[in-house]
Amino acid sequence: MLSRRHLLAAVAALPGARALAQDTVDLGLPGGPSKRRLTDDFPGKRGMILQRNTPALLETPLTAFNDGIITPNDRFFVRWHWPFPTEIDPARFRLRVDGHVARPLDLTLAALKRLPPVEITAINQCSGNSRGLFAPRIAGAQWAHGAMGNARWTGVRLRDVLDRAGVRAGAVQVRFSGLDAPVMDDAPDFQKSLAVDHARDGEVMIAWAMNGEPLPILNGFPLRLVVPGWFSTYWVKMLDRIEVLDKPDDNYWMAKAYLVPDTPDGGIPPGTKDFPKRPISTMVPRAFITSIAEGARLPVAPTPVGGIAMGGDSGVARVEVSGDGGTTWAAAKLGPDAGKYSFRRFDAVIAPARGPTTLMARCTNSAGTVQPMTGIWNPGGYLRGQVETTNVTFV
């Protein structure tokens, strides 16, 4: 992605291109429009990048990830497709479990909480995170890197709930939907499905707390699905219906949307027509430098470079950092391991030469997958995973 790197360098070279006004950020999206307002206007959220007011799309600034591997609830990104209720009475809320089951259930929150509680730290990342950085550009939410967050989720195993309902022989998928609803009655309600075996793997959970607090309404109060290692599209918010299916789900959001090319890396040359597709699923390794901003001017001296990495669907095994545009690499020190689905902090020190250069961080996950230097492309703008760049000048 040499051309993109040059473009970003050109953007960064414009005086004032990064911080236009106190409440505006420039996301560096090639070709623009790239400026966004920072907002504190959404209840329980602060300093969020305003992508869209209604339904809310709020992005976390990359600098927020420098503060720790857990993303605080008030900085956690927000993403909805359709309008959602802004008032919920937990006493009246019911989670319906039905379809191909022996005993349909209408669970109160109190009944759900009588099941054995479990906890996991896991990254929730939008399928289209970083879509605004693809070249050629793609229509959709124009995110930079902040449509992701890492939280400690508390709830119950989906398996325990399904076992209470008794999944019948012949079940193939489990479908999830929430309280959000289309504006037009005949438009497709947002629904997502997982294979029965995945739904029953003991890891997928129904969470009611995030970082020790009830889920914010904007993040899916009172319940959301947590699908560790899988993209956020499956983490259905305001979850109120679980339906066991005896045939594959053909609803729009499974059969037509959130599909990626059925190639090993999910990429395809721009402009390719008629290719096999599959529903998006697991995440890929990524690393982000969060301690130094794009366009920074720094003194020539040993310089700490730190950030966060994720393994995707397995842990972070190694992060390397380059201070010379990828010519040489040095191993970074990894921070505490909060589990294979969590962000992991990395820190290194580079000895820079005078002049402009490109900083990079490269993650290898515990399955041995290394971030590639060049990116893939696909018509959804999904699965970005190449080594990212931070252009700086040492003076």
Partner 1 sequence: MRILVPAAVLGLSLLSVAGLSAPVAIALPDDPTEFVDVPGGPAAEAINNNCRACHSASMVLTQPRLTRSEWTAEVVKMRHVYKAPVDPADDAAIIDWLMAMSEGRGPAPAG
Helix (H, G, I), strand (E, B) or coil at 241: strand
For residue 183, state whether it binds ligand HEC (rule: CB under 6 A). Answer: yes
Helix (H, G, I), strand (E, B) or coil at 160: helix
Residue 29 partner contact from ligand HEC, partner 1, none using kind-dependent CB cut-offs of 5 to 8 Å? partner 1
Q: Which of 6, 256, 297, 354 binds partner 1 (CB under 8 A)?
A: 256
Q: Report in angstroms the alpha-carbon separations of 148 from 11, 51, 77, 126.
A: 24, 14, 6, 6
Closer by beta carbon to partner 1, 15 or else 89? 89
Closer by beta carbon to partner 1, 9 or else 109? 109
Which residues is 242 bridged to in the sheet? 97, 176
Q: How many angstroms separate the CA atoms of 375 and 373, rounded?
A: 7
Q: Beta strand pairing status for 259-261 and 277-279?
A: antiparallel
Q: Beta strand pairing status for 95-99 and 239-245?
A: parallel
Residue 120 partner contact from partner 1, ligand HEC, none using kind-dependent CB cut-offs of 5 to 8 Å? partner 1
Number of chain residues interacting with partner 1 (CB under 8 A):
65
Place of tokens 């990104």: 77
Which residues from 63-102 bind ligand HEC, rule CB under 6 A?
81
The contacts of residue 312 (CB under 8 Å, 6+ apart) are: 229, 282, 283, 284, 285, 286, 365, 369, 385
Residue 116 partner contact from ligand HEC, partner 1, none using kind-dependent CB cut-offs of 5 to 8 Å? partner 1
The contacts of residue 53 (CB under 8 Å, 6+ apart) are: none
Stretch that binds ligand HEC, among 27-35, 182-190, 209-217, 265-273 (CB under 6 A): 182-190
Q: Give the x/- contact pattern for partner 1 in 169-208, rule: CB under 8 A.
A: -------------xxxxxxx-------------xx-x--x
Q: How many angstroms separate the CA atoms of 57 and 39, rounded?
A: 11
For residue 139, state whether it binds ligand HEC (rule: CB under 6 A). Answer: yes
Closer by beta carbon to ligand HEC, 184 or else 301? 184
For residue 214, state whether it binds partner 1 (rule: CB under 8 A). Answer: yes
Task: For the CB of residue 390, give the shortest distance to partner 1 in the complex, in Å.
Answer: 21
Which residues is 244 bridged to in the sheet? 99, 174
Q: Which of 2, 91, 110, 184 binds ligand HEC (CB under 6 A)?
A: 184
Helix (H, G, I), strand (E, B) or coil at 65: helix
Helix (H, G, I), strand (E, B) or coil at 391: strand
For residue 51, state whether it binds partner 1 (rule: CB under 8 A). Answer: yes
Q: Which of 118, 172, 181, 293 binds partner 1 (CB under 8 A)?
A: 118
Rg (CA), the chain: 21
Q: How many angstroms separate the CA atoms of 371 and 351, rounded?
A: 23
Task: For the CB of residue 338, give the shortest distance to partner 1 in the complex, in Å.
Answer: 11
Residues within the interface to partner 1 (CB under 8 A):
29-33, 36, 39, 41-44, 50-56, 82, 86-91, 109, 113, 116-120, 132, 136-139, 141-142, 154, 182-188, 202-203, 205, 208-209, 212-214, 217-218, 221-222, 228, 252, 256, 270-271, 339
